Protein backbone atom coordinates (compact mmCIF):
# COMPACT_ATOMS: atom_id res chain seq x y z
CA UNK A 1 0.00 0.00 0.00
CA UNK A 2 1.30 3.46 -0.87
CA UNK A 3 1.77 6.43 1.39
CA UNK A 4 -0.26 9.59 0.82
CA UNK A 5 1.71 12.82 0.55
CA UNK A 6 -0.01 16.18 0.45
CA UNK A 7 1.42 19.41 -0.92
CA UNK A 8 0.19 22.76 -2.19
CA UNK A 9 1.01 24.12 -5.63
CA UNK A 10 0.06 27.41 -7.24
CA UNK A 11 -2.90 27.55 -9.60
CA UNK A 12 -0.76 27.87 -12.71
CA UNK A 13 1.13 24.67 -11.93
CA UNK A 14 -2.10 22.84 -11.09
CA UNK A 15 -3.59 23.89 -14.44
CA UNK A 16 -0.50 22.70 -16.30
CA UNK A 17 -0.64 19.36 -14.52
CA UNK A 18 -4.30 19.02 -15.39
CA UNK A 19 -3.57 19.84 -19.04
CA UNK A 20 -0.83 17.21 -19.13
CA UNK A 21 -3.12 14.66 -17.49
CA UNK A 22 -5.81 15.33 -20.08
CA UNK A 23 -3.30 15.16 -22.95
CA UNK A 24 -1.88 11.88 -21.68
CA UNK A 25 -5.24 10.37 -20.75
CA UNK A 26 -4.31 10.02 -17.09
CA UNK A 27 -5.62 11.34 -13.83
CA UNK A 28 -3.79 14.07 -11.92
CA UNK A 29 -2.42 11.64 -9.30
CA UNK A 30 -0.79 9.44 -11.93
CA UNK A 31 0.86 12.44 -13.57
CA UNK A 32 2.12 13.66 -10.20
CA UNK A 33 3.52 10.23 -9.27
CA UNK A 34 5.38 10.01 -12.57
CA UNK A 35 6.78 13.52 -12.27
CA UNK A 36 7.84 12.93 -8.69
CA UNK A 37 9.50 9.60 -9.51
CA UNK A 38 11.42 11.19 -12.41
CA UNK A 39 12.51 14.17 -10.29
CA UNK A 40 13.72 11.92 -7.45
CA UNK A 41 15.61 9.68 -9.91
CA UNK A 42 17.26 12.71 -11.54
CA UNK A 43 18.22 14.17 -8.17
CA UNK A 44 19.70 10.87 -7.04
CA UNK A 45 21.77 10.56 -10.22
CA UNK A 46 23.01 14.16 -9.93
CA UNK A 47 23.91 13.71 -6.25
CA UNK A 48 25.66 10.40 -6.90
CA UNK A 49 27.64 11.83 -9.82
CA UNK A 50 28.65 14.82 -7.70
CA UNK A 51 29.88 12.46 -4.98
CA UNK A 52 31.74 10.45 -7.65
CA UNK A 53 33.32 13.58 -9.11
CA UNK A 54 34.47 14.60 -5.63
CA UNK A 55 36.01 11.16 -5.09
CA UNK A 56 33.63 10.23 -2.27
CA UNK A 57 32.31 7.12 -4.03
CA UNK A 58 33.26 4.97 -7.00
CA UNK A 59 31.32 4.93 -10.23
CA UNK A 60 30.17 1.42 -9.37
CA UNK A 61 28.83 2.66 -6.01
CA UNK A 62 27.07 5.53 -7.77
CA UNK A 63 25.42 3.08 -10.17
CA UNK A 64 24.28 0.82 -7.32
CA UNK A 65 22.90 3.78 -5.37
CA UNK A 66 20.82 4.80 -8.40
CA UNK A 67 19.70 1.31 -9.33
CA UNK A 68 21.50 1.53 -12.69
CA UNK A 69 23.93 -0.78 -14.39
CA UNK A 70 27.53 0.35 -14.63
CA UNK A 71 27.07 0.96 -18.38
CA UNK A 72 23.97 3.07 -17.76
CA UNK A 73 25.92 5.14 -15.23
CA UNK A 74 28.80 5.54 -17.67
CA UNK A 75 26.28 6.89 -20.17
CA UNK A 76 25.01 9.34 -17.52
CA UNK A 77 28.60 10.50 -16.94
CA UNK A 78 29.08 11.01 -20.67
CA UNK A 79 25.76 12.75 -21.33
CA UNK A 80 26.08 15.08 -18.32
CA UNK A 81 29.73 15.95 -18.96
CA UNK A 82 30.91 14.81 -15.53
CA UNK A 83 34.60 15.28 -14.78
CA UNK A 84 36.22 11.92 -14.12
CA UNK A 85 38.41 12.10 -10.99
CA UNK A 86 41.59 10.68 -12.50
CA UNK A 87 44.80 12.17 -11.13
CA UNK A 88 48.38 12.18 -12.34
CA UNK A 89 49.15 9.70 -9.56
CA UNK A 90 46.44 7.39 -10.91
CA UNK A 91 48.04 7.59 -14.36
CA UNK A 92 51.49 6.82 -12.97
CA UNK A 93 50.15 3.78 -11.12
CA UNK A 94 48.37 2.54 -14.23
CA UNK A 95 51.53 2.95 -16.33
CA UNK A 96 53.61 1.09 -13.73
CA UNK A 97 51.04 -1.71 -13.64
CA UNK A 98 51.38 -2.14 -17.39
Q: What is the pLDDT of residue 56?
A: 93
Position 5 in a domain: no
Where residue 72 falls among pLDDT bands split at 50, 70, 90?
A: very high
The pTM of the full predicted model, rounded to 2 decimals, is 0.78
Domain of residue 16, residue span: 11-97
Instruction: For residues 57-85, give the mean pLDDT.
Output: 93
Position 1 in a domain: no
Separation in Å, CA 91 to CA 2, 52, 84, 85, 95:
49, 18, 13, 11, 6
Asked whether residue 48 carries a pLDDT value surpassing 80, the answer given is yes
Share of the chain above pLDDT 70, in %: 100
Q: What is the pLDDT of residue 88?
A: 77
Number of domains in the chain: 1
Amino acid sequence: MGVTLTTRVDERLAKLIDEIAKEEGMDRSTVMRRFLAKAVRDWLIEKSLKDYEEGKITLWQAAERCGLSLWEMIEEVRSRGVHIPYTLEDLKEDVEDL
